[in-house]
Structure 1
């Protein structure tokens, strides 16, 4: 989504400048207003989202500035960007090119995001794999069908995985109607047990994926990756990177 947003900004900036006459530095001023409007909209979108989920963010204040974690109010961002653009084009900058660029950029962002999600949803399905529990017994992932599922791909050597694990374990305890599965990628049982013992955690459904079959089937490119499936086994969200408590809670609510 970050690449889609940057591409949308490029569309907005390029179109606004392209339809502006290059006289008296107007083209540069129009481009600057589009960039500033985008940044104001981005800040507003994040701020409104944080305020909406404030109790979750207060539990981990640092996550407020962790933009890669996701969490934006698109509506608030569009409104603030438009208001800023209207204010900055009172005089003497032409208003039409700025608004035209912003509308084109917003449309590109929304449509691009929808297309990206549609492609992702059509290519990622509930993995068909048999993993092993920490005692070595086989556990087919099919066992978790019929209920919402949070499937976390992780490893003990992965710093972001270790940081987000307590948040996931707390969520597992708070949402008993949702299956949380921790599919360790490529490690042996003793490594996982040593880590959990050292961190004094005992989550349920910790499984071993010795050959990283789940990563291959889902197309995950990095750890941690967390996949959110509804009760019918359809992908609702995919998140690559560390999850904050606020984002995790929002995603869990989506699949319930």
Structure 2
């Protein structure tokens, strides 16, 4: 499974792991504030804020060439993208300033370690349990051209984007995926629209001036059922042998897209 539903909210496995780690640090800070020192409450919030800002800044700097053309994307944190090692220094500075006594700092480090352990455990479990599901034996109608036999890869890797015209994250990522399809002719891109009619899809693509290869009509939403995915957009990365290599839930960033394409190669 690519995600978890908590009431009306849908989280990818990776983001749920981060959320759990954050909750543990905040709850731990409040417990320590009541039992050890009131400063732990302020420390937990400041340490998390400093760590997240440092990790995001590190990700942007590590991918400076990708952000150079669109610097505003540095603020697009909903796309994901954080580099954990860059969080260490700002968190250490906050800890030294707010918890100057070694005993207090040790309690803070222990709280952070508990949060990191929870995050890493869920992350590793969900990453290692990624099923290498084969492509389904589906033949889907397409917007233009003959029906598409999904399992016939022709020896090429496949990227399947599960989308709909009414989905805001789908619309935001579509230009990026369209460019990637043009730039990677040896990769088969399939844009599997979910339960919309051909006229609606054609109107949307014409208005957005988008040219997409292999726009497939998944009227019965068979692809999400086959892979057991939740929500859209979902981007599936499939090896030439038809086995699933990776999946990404939610809007995908250029860095994430390029990294997963590199895995397929």
Give me the TM-score of the superposition, normalised by structure 2: 0.82
Q: Report Cα offsets for 1:131-169 as digits up to 9, x if no partner.
A: 122247332211226433221011222232222211111
Match of 1:84 in 2: 94
Q: Aligned to 2:67, which of 31, 46, 57?
A: 57
Q: 1:135, 1:245 → 2: CA distance? A: 27
- 1:230, distance to aligned residue in structure 2 (A): 3.4
Q: 2:226, 2:122 → 1: CA distance? A: 24
Match of 1:164 in 2: 173
Match of 2:119 in 1: 109
Match of 2:140 in 1: 131
Corresponding position: 1:10 with 2:20: no
Aligned pair count reads 252
Q: Report Cα offsets for 1:194-225 as digits up to 9, x if no partner.
A: 32233332221221111111121122322222
**1:130–1:113 distance in 2 versus 1, CA, 3 Å:** same
> Unmatched 5+ residue regions in structure 2?
1-13
Q: 2:46, 2:198 → 1: CA distance? A: 51
Q: 2:80, 2:207 → 1: CA distance? A: 30
Q: Please tell me the root mean square deviation across aligned C-alpha atoms, in Å.
A: 2.7
Q: 2:226, 2:21 → 1: CA distance? A: 30
Asked if the contact 1:14/1:101 (under 8 Å) is kept, the reply is no
Q: 2:131, 2:206 → 1: CA distance? A: 39
Asked if the contact 1:151/1:183 (under 8 Å) is kept, the reply is yes
> Unmatched 5+ residue regions in structure 1?
none
Query: Segments of 4+ in structure 1 off by > 4 A?
Result: 15-21
Q: 1:62, 1:31 → 2: CA distance? A: 32
Give me the TM-score of the superposition, normalised by structure 1: 0.85
